[in-house]
Amino acid sequence: MITIFYGSIFWISLVCAAIYIFIWHKHFDVNFTMIFTLIPVACLGYMLQGNAGNMKGAVIATQIIYIGGCFLQLFILFFIFNICRIELSRWIRTALFAFSSVVYASTMTVGQMDFFYKSVYFDVADGNGVLVKEYGIMHTVFYVMVCLYFGAGIAAIIYSLVRKKQVPRTVIYLMLLPDVICILSYFAGRRIIKNVELVPLGYLLAEVIVLLIAYRVNLYDVADTVIDSMVQERGIGYISFDFKCRYLGCNEVALELMPELADTAVDETFGYKPSQRKIRHFIDHFKKDQSHNLFVYTLHSEDQDPENDRIYNVSVNFLYDGFRRRGYLVTFTDDTANQKYIRLLDSYNDKLQNEVDEKTRHIIEMHDNLIMSLAMMVESRDNSTGGHIMRTSEGVRILVDEIVKEGSLNLSDDFCLDVIKAAPMHDLGKIAVDDAVLRKPGRFTDEEYEKMKHHAAEGARVIHEILLHTDDNSFKIVAENVAHYHHERWDGSGYPEKLKGEQIPIEARIMAVADVYDALVSKRVYKEAFDFEKANAIIMEGMGTQFDPGLKTAYVNARPRLEEYYRSLN
């Protein structure tokens, strides 16, 4: 019966170990594996002891039993500390293992010396061989060692229950059982059934409980479970290298992504083959600048259809072994769906932007045409300035072009466009001038001239109202200034504000030159058109008094184009 009892326990322990191997995960604590190794070994010793037919066989069986006796409680202790997230230094772990090894080494003296057993002899009881022994000093040390390991484990469990809220309670309660069962089987087993050791049964029960813990504990390791979940759900690929860029390995996703990795030998320097250069390029960039670790990798489809391409986000980081950097880890994350969605959004945004730009251009054209129509309507009331708007607008365009070529005023492109665009609006204020004055077929009296002067300020007011709600505030300011100040003079004798020098906005100074030039070379009701030489002499004479002398060079350069333009009109 004893033989059957020990044999059954041994085979059941092997089944439990097989189940553990089946559910084994690479993230399992190594102490799990040691527990599932030591328990079947210890149970084997008890089975061999029950079948021993002589002293030598019984001693060998006893020595096998104590492999479990000396080391199992130690690895249960390590297992408890790891689960409770209590760190033991490598020196303490090594010292405890050495202590257990010394105790186990003393079992090798059984039958030869009196360290572990003072005396031992073989006997037969109820048809089964047993060792009758008297315990020695090292056996007492063995009991002390087991009690110390047990006490440390219980202390760690109690500490975790009280202080460590992140340690799973279910696992803590389960961890108590194998520790308690093993201790009870050590000290109380023989008192229940004579000549029968209950220690292997205790080991078996502990093995079953540890199996339950192993099945559940990995769920609590957030880092590992999240990584595994991401790899499965998002198709994340990994390729690892050492610091010399020698290939270390990859996962299945990376192998599907880059089938050529199957022909890459482990420890082979990576990056010399054409198919490897892009990945090596990513690593080299990371070496130079660790902040530059994000890249995009496109896997082109076999049918060459861009819609079927796969797009991966690639990140390069250090490969860690614990806290030590050991190499580089290249991670591929399938981002095809996001990238296609972004492209769709970009395409839609581009289309929408084009439509908005088209509508905006249409509105601007309508706005400009409305202003031009208003300016031409005002001009139609003035029988002395026919075509003046169009001519001065072209004159401003030519002057601005020469100013830009000269480069001394450093005007922006947007500002130049605003000045050209505002030129037709410079006389809008004439809409408020009485017809009797505006349409007079001759020179103005002093009183009529004073009334005519009001058109400058009135023009600024009208433009302000027209452009009140425009989004283009810079154009609004330029247009108001052109209308308001184009009759100011450099020496301060102009109107309506008698501004002087650079107090006059540059846009108004440019407009003044084009406005006076047109008045000189065009026929009016009160005078004939001056020839170009006379007009030029008057303009040059006015530089520094009526006009900004800083515009002299630009005017001189523009003169041939101005004369050519006015000749074309005739």
- CATH number of the domain within which 539 lies: 1.10.3210.10
What is d(CA 485, CA 261) in angstroms, rounded to the nearest whole number? 76
Cβ count within 10 A of residue 421: 20
Residue 91 belongs to domain with CATH number: 1.20.1070
Which whole number is the average pLDDT over 265-292? 85
Residue 135, classified by CB atoms within 10 Å of its CB into exposed (0-12), middle (13-18) or buried (19+), is middle
Unique residue bearing structure tokens 């809008």: 428
- The CA-CA-CA angle for residues 448, 451, 453, to 5°, reads 115
Which whole number is the average pLDDT over 364-386? 63
Is 347 inside any structural domain? no
Last residue of a domain, one of 266, 301, 334: 334
26 and 134 share one domain: yes
Which whole number is the average pLDDT over 445-450? 78
76 and 161 share one domain: yes
Q: Which amino acid is at 252?
A: E
Instruction: Using pLDDT thresholds of 50, 70 and 90, give the confidence band for residue 397.
Output: very high
Rounded to the nearest integer, the mean pLDDT of the chain is 81
Q: What is the pLDDT of residue 503?
A: 93
Output the furthest CA–CA distance in the chain (Å, rounded): 151
Percent composition of the chain: helix, strand, coil (DSSP 3-state, to 5): 65, 10, 25
**Is the confidence at residue 356, as pLDDT, over 80?**
no
535 and 553 share one domain: yes
311 and 457 share one domain: no
215 and 237 share one domain: no
What are residue 83's phi and psi, to 5 degrees? Answer: -65, -40
120 and 257 share one domain: no
Is 342 inside any structural domain? no
Nearest residue to 186 (alpha-carbon basis) of 175, 170, 202, 169: 202
pTM passes above 0.85: no
Most confident of 310-314, 426-430, 543-547: 543-547
Distances (CA, A) of 70 to 97, 106, 147: 9, 11, 11
155 and 23 share one domain: yes
Token pair for 224: 């590992």
230 and 100 share one domain: no
Domain range for 272: 225-334
Q: Are 58 and 74 in contact (CB under 8 A)?
A: no
E-assigned strand segments in 87-190 = 117-125, 128-135
Is 300 inside any structural domain? yes
What is d(CA 417, CA 362) in angstroms, rounded to the nearest whole number? 18
Q: Are 427 and 378 in contact (CB under 8 A)?
A: yes
Nearest residue to 152 (alpha-carbon basis) of 68, 84, 69, 66: 84
Domain count, the chain: 3
How many percent of the chain have pLDDT more than 90?
19
Last residue of a domain, one of 198, 220, 242: 220
378 and 508 share one domain: yes
Is 346 inside any structural domain? no
Is 49 inside any structural domain? yes
How many percent of the chain have pLDDT more than 70?
83
Residue 314 belongs to domain with CATH number: 3.30.450.20
Sign of the C-alpha dihedral, residues 131, 132, 135, 136?
A: negative
pLDDT in tens, 358-368: 876 776 676 66
485 vs 337: which has the higher pLDDT: 485
Is 436 inside any structural domain? yes
Q: Are 88 and 81 in contact (CB under 8 A)?
A: yes
Last residue of a domain, one of 200, 220, 240: 220
Instruction: Using pLDDT thresholds of 50, 70 and 90, give the confidence band for residue 27.
Output: low
Token pair for 245: 């860029």
Nearest residue to 211 (alpha-carbon basis) of 369, 17, 81, 66: 17
Q: What is the pLDDT of residue 439?
A: 62
What is d(CA 361, CA 73) in angstroms, rounded to the nearest whole number? 84
Instruction: Using pLDDT thresholds of 50, 70 and 90, give the confidence band for residue 136.
Output: confident
Q: What is the pLDDT of residue 533?
A: 93
Among 210-214, 222-226, 427-431, 478-482, the minimum mean pLDDT is found in: 222-226
- Sheet containing 324-334: give its strands across: 247-250, 237-242, 324-334, 310-321, 294-299
141 and 232 share one domain: no
Which whole number is the average pLDDT over 151-156? 88
Is 364 inside any structural domain? yes
378 and 326 share one domain: no
282 and 363 share one domain: no
Is 470 inside any structural domain? yes
Distances (CA, A) of 253 to 237, 258, 277, 319, 515: 5, 9, 19, 18, 75
